[in-house]
């Protein structure tokens, strides 16, 4: 399974416009982040935020057949408009969108304009998308938010860019995970904002899950420099912990 991180920032890209803080002034390319999304095996896109057009320019977007939406917030859905135009220009079949009933009800207008096929998924439903199995479970963020579970052969990838907590009865889905990627909107618990957990909180969750590799995405203004975060998560979690950056590819 090939996983490409197209974006790793929170709701606003980094650097922030007009900001001269240490993070926004960094010359490290790994501190330049677009809004969070990943591409699996070149054909399954998870989330399509406002930066989608820019993210897809270096790759062949017509290979994308499936687009999974974790929830309806604008930083995860506004790129649907661009997806429709990309496929309209090429004459290729437009991808299918997957999301919960709540997600589609909140973004019905852009969907109507682009005439994209939508598939409503229920919590814990499983579907086969090309060579992978896609399932999900509910997490606490906004209504209808899902964690995305992707399996291929013996490998399991879980992607949860936005969440405050996982309901106790859903923690079982984290077992036997090869790669767990979770919300890292802030570094410390004291800086947590509504609907998001911190890296500090996520470390305990990840360690308890037993995941082989753990990454933190949706990195915000209060997360910190990439180099410092990388040191922090490896020191606190172990060598299997890391900080993804835009364009990083991971193979399971």
- Helix ranges, 60-195 (H): 74-77, 80-90, 101-106, 108-114
Residue 144: pLDDT band (50, 70, 90) is: very high
What is d(CA 177, CA 166) in angstroms, rounded to the nearest whole number?
A: 16
Using one digit for the tens of pLDDT, what is the confidence trace for 182-193? Answer: 999 999 999 888
What is d(CA 133, CA 54) in angstroms, rounded to the nearest whole number?
A: 28
- Which residue, among 250, 158, 246, has the nearest Cα to 205 in the 3D structure? 158
Read off the pLDDT of each residue in 113-140 and give the average, rounded to a whole number. 94
- Which residue, among 119, 152, 153, has the nearest Cα to 134 in the 3D structure? 152
- Report the DSSP pairing between strands 249-251 and 2-7: antiparallel
- Which residue, among 59, 46, 51, 48, has the nearest Cα to 32 in the 3D structure? 51
What pLDDT does 86 receive? 76
- Which residue, among 55, 101, 44, has the nearest Cα to 78 in the 3D structure? 55
Q: Is the pLDDT of residue 83 over 90?
A: no
Q: Is the pLDDT of residue 112 over 80?
A: no
- Local structure of 201: helix, strand or coil: helix
- Which residue, among 215, 95, 242, has the nearest Cα to 160 in the 3D structure? 215
CB 56 within 8 A of CB 92: no
Mean pLDDT of the chain: 95
Q: Write phi, then psi, for 34 (nearest 5 degrees).
A: -95, 170
Q: Is the pLDDT of residue 110 over 80?
A: no
Residue 34: pLDDT band (50, 70, 90) is: very high
Neighbour tally for 245: CB within 10 Å: 20
Using one digit for the tens of pLDDT, what is the confidence trace for 190-220? Answer: 988 889 999 999 999 999 999 999 999 999 9
C-alpha distances (whole Å) from 26 to each of 43, 150, 174 are 33, 34, 35
C-alpha distances (whole Å) from 127 to each of 31, 123, 131, 220 are 35, 12, 11, 32
Question: CATH class for domain 2-246?
Answer: alpha beta
Read off the pLDDT of each residue in 171-189 and give the average, rounded to a whole number. 97
């Amino acid at each position: 399974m090939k996983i490409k991180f197209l974006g790793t920032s929170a709701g606003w890209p980094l650097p922030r416009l007009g900001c001269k803080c240490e993070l926004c002034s960094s010359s490290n390319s790994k501190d330049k982040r677009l809004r969070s999304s990943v591409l699996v095996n070149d054909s399954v896109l998870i989330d399509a935020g406002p930066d989608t057009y820019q993210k897809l320019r270096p790759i062949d977007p017509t290979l994308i057949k499936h687009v999974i939406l974790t929830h309806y917030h604008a930083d995860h859905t506004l790129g649907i408009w661009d997806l429709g135009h990309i496929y309209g220009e090429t004459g290729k079949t437009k991808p299918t969108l997957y999301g919960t009933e709540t997600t589609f009800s909140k973004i019905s207008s852009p969907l109507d304009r682009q005439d994209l096929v939508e598939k409503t998924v229920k919590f814990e439903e499983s579907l086969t998308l090309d060579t992978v199995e896609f399932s999900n479970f509910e997490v606490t963020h906004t209504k209808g938010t899902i964690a995305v579970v992707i399996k291929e052969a013996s490998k399991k990838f879980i992607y949860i860019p936005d969440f405050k907590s996982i309901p106790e009865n859903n923690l079982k889905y984290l077992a036997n995970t090869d790669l767990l990627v979770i919300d890292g909107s802030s570094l410390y618990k004291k800086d947590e904002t509504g609907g998001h957990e911190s890296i500090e909180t996520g470390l305990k969750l990840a360690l308890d899950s037993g995941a082989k590799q753990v990454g933190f995405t949706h990195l915000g203004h209060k997360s910190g420099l990439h180099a410092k975060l990388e040191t922090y998560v490896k020191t606190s979690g172990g060598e299997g912990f890391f900080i993804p950056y835009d364009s990083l590819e991971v193979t399971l």
